[in-house]
Chains A and B, each alone.
Chain A
Amino acid sequence: MSLRGKDILGLQEMTPEEILLILDTAEGMKEISEREIKKVPTLRGKTIINLFHEPSTRTRTSFEIAGKRLSADVINISASGSSTVKGETIRDTAHNLEAMSPDVIVVRHSASGVPYLLAQALKTPIINAGDGAHEHPTQALLDLFTIREKRGMLQGLKVTIAGDIAHSRVARSNIFGMTKLGMEVTVAGPATMMPLHIEKLGVRVITNMDEAIAEADVIMMLRLQLERQHQSLFPSLREYSRLYGLNLERLKRAREDLLILHPGPINRGIEIAPEVADGPYSLILQQVSNGVAIRMALLYLVVEGK
Chain B
Amino acid sequence: MDLLIRGGRVIDPAGGIDDLMDVLIADDRISRLGKNLAERAPGTRIIQASGMVVAPGLIDLHAHLREPGFEHKETLQTGLEAAVVGGFTSVACMPNTDPVNDNPAITHYLISRARQVGKARLFPIGAITQGLGGGRLAEIGEQREAGTVAISDDGRPVMNSEVMRRALEYAGMFGMPVISHCEDLNLSGGGVMHEGWVSTELGLKGVPTAAEEVMVSRDLALAELTGSRLHIAHVSCAGSVHLIRQAKEKGIRVTSEVTPHHFTLTDEAVRGFDPNTKVNPPLRSAEDVRAIEEGLKDGTIEVIATDHAPHDLAEKDLEYTQAAFGMVGLETALGLALDRLYHRGILSLPQLLAKLTLNPARALNLDAGKMTVGAKADVVILDPERRWRVDGNAFRSKGRNSPFHGWQLRGMAMMTIVDGQIVMDQGLGI
Residues of chain A having any CB pair with chain B under 8 Å: 12, 82-84, 87, 89-91, 109-114, 116-117, 120, 131-135, 169, 172, 195-198, 200-201
Residue numbers in A under 8 Å from B196 (CB-CB): 196-197
Q: Write the chain B residue with the least CB distance to A198.
A: B200
B197 pairs with A89, CB closer than 8 A: no
CB-CB nearest in chain B for A120: B272
| In the assembled complex, B320 has its CB within 8 A of some CB on chain A | yes
Instruction: Give chain B's interface secondary structure class.
Output: loop
Q: Is B162 an interface residue (CB 8 A)?
A: no
Choose one: B195, B197, B208, B321; the contact of A111 (CB below 8 Å): B321
Closest chain-B Cβ to A234's Cβ sits at a distance in Å of: 18
The interface residues of chain B lying within 8 Å CB-to-CB of A83 are 318-319, 322
Checking A90, A120, A132, A195 against B318 with a beta-carbon cut-off of 8 angstroms, the contacting residue is A90
Which B238-279 residues have C-beta < 8 A from chain A? 272-273
With A117-B273, A172-B203, A196-B206: A112-B195 Cβ-Cβ less than 8 Å? no
Given A91-B317, A197-B196, are A134 and B202 neighbors across the interface (CB < 8 Å)? yes
Interface residues of B in 299-357 (CB under 8 A from A): 313-314, 317-322
Listed from nearest, the 4 A-B pairs whose CB atoms lie closest are A113-B273, A134-B203, A133-B203, A111-B319
Given contact pairs A116-B273, A117-B319, a sample of 9 additional A-B residue pairs in the complex whose CB atoms are under 8 Å apart: A12-B201, A84-B314, A84-B322, A90-B319, A111-B320, A112-B202, A112-B273, A114-B319, A133-B205
Instruction: Tell me, yes or no, whether B397 is within 8 Å of chain A by CB.
Output: no
Residues B170-225 near A (CB distance < 8 A) = 195-197, 199-206, 208
The answer to whether A112 and B203 touch across the interface, beta carbons within 8 angstroms, is yes
Cβ-neighbour of B313 out of A82, A89, A110, A120 (below 8 A): A89
Q: B residues within 8 A CB of A114?
A: 273, 319
Flag if B318 contacts A82 (CB, 8 Å): yes
Instruction: Report Cα–Cα, A91/B317, bound state, in Å.
Output: 8
Q: Point out the residues of chain B lying under 8 angstroms from A82, CB to CB.
A: 318-319, 322
Q: Which residue of chain B has its CB nearest to the CB of A175? A: B201
Residue from A12, A112, A197 within 8 A of B321 (CB atoms) = A112
Residues of B within 8 A of A (CB): 195-197, 199-206, 208, 272-273, 313-314, 317-322
Contact B200 A113 (CB under 8 A): no
Contacts of B273 in A (CB 8 A): 112-114, 116-117
Which residues from chain A contact B318 at a C-beta distance below 8 Å?
Answer: 82-84, 89-90
Q: Are A169 and B319 in contact (CB under 8 A)?
A: no
Question: Do B321 and A89 touch (CB < 8 A)?
Answer: no
Contact assessment for A200 and B319 in the assembled complex, using a CB-CB cutoff below 8 Å: no
CB neighbours (8 Å) of B322 from chain A are: 82-84, 111
B205 neighbours in A (Cβ, 8 Å)? 133
State A84–B206 Cα separation when bound (angstroms).
Answer: 22
A90/B197 in contact, CB under 8 A? no
Smallest CB gap from B270: residue in A = A113
Whether A116 pairs with B197 at a CB distance below 8 angstroms is no
From A12, A84, A196, B199 is in contact (CB under 8 Å) with A196
A197, B204: Cα distance in complex, Å: 14
**Shortest distance in angstroms between B312's beta carbon and chain A's nearest beta carbon?**
10
Report chain B residues within 8 Å CB of A90. 317-319
CB distance from A167 to the nearest CB of B (A): 8
User: For the complex, what is the distance from the CA of A120 to the CA of B276, rounded to whole Å?
Assistant: 15
Assuming the A-B contacts A134-B202, A200-B197, are A109 and B314 also in contact, with contact meaning beta carbons closer than 8 angstroms in the complex? no
Closest B residue by C-beta to A133: B203
Contact B203 A135 (CB under 8 A): yes
Whether the pair B313, A195 counts as a contact (CB closer than 8 A) is no
Which of A91, A134, A196, A200 touches B195 (beta carbons < 8 Å)? Answer: A196
Q: Within the assembled complex, what's the spacing in Å between the Cα atoms of A201 and B199?
A: 12
Which of A83, A113, A114, A120 lies at the interface centre, i.e. has the most chain B CB atoms within 10 A of its CB?
A113
Chain B min CB distance to A165 (Å): 9
Looking across the interface, which residue of chain A has its beta carbon closest to that of B319? A111
A187 to chain B, nearest CB (A): 11
The residue of chain B having its C-beta at the shortest distance from the C-beta of A169 within the complex is B203
Cβ contact within 8 Å between A113 and B202? yes
Are A109 and B203 in contact, CB atoms less than 8 angstroms apart?
Answer: no
Q: Across the interface, do B200 and A197 meet the contact criterion of CB distance under 8 Å?
A: yes
Name the A residues within 8 Å of B199 (CB-CB).
195-196
**What's the Cα separation between A102 and B199 when bound, in Å?**
32
Residues of B within 8 A of A110 (CB): 321
B190, chain A: closest CB distance, angstroms: 9
Query: How many Å from the CB of A45 to the closest CB on chain B?
Result: 32
Give the CA-CA distance A90 to B314 in the complex, in Å: 10
Report the nearest A residue to B315, measured CB to CB: A84
* Chain B residues with CB below 8 A from A111, complex form: 319-322
User: 15 A–B contact pairs at CB < 8 A?
Assistant: A82-B318, A83-B318, A89-B314, A89-B318, A90-B318, A112-B202, A112-B204, A112-B320, A113-B319, A114-B273, A117-B273, A117-B319, A133-B204, A196-B199, A200-B197
